[in-house]
Amino acid sequence: MFDPEKLSHWIERKAMAYLAWNDRRAKARFEKTLNDHHTMEICIVLCAILLVMGLINHMDAAFLRSVCELAALVVFMKFVQLTMIALHRKGKSDE
């Protein structure tokens, strides 16, 4: 016959398994996002190329200044990202 207690226990186990899977997936996604350096590295290289091209072609000062500001912003963002990685790994080792 139909046992509501068995059904309740089965649903509870499935819910716990789903929550554990969701936590593992969220942690893996966070780790991947935190350690993804490619976008920032590409931005830094493109800014460097723009600076070199600007210096070679004698671009006007406003353009060079804006490119330098963009490059400084990208380097600052990279520094923040590396700081977050270091803090995250430091906290992970304490566990």
pLDDT at 17: 94
Average pLDDT over residues 24-51: 77
Give the number of other CB atoms < 10 A from CB of residue 71: 17
* pTM for this predicted structure: 0.43
> Do 84 and 34 touch, CB atoms closer than 8 A?
yes
> 94 falls in which pLDDT band (50, 70, 90)?
very low
How high is the pLDDT of residue 95?
A: 42
The per-residue pLDDT for range 71-88, each reduced to its tens digit, is 778 778 878 877 887 887
Residue 69 in this model has a pLDDT that exceeds 70: yes
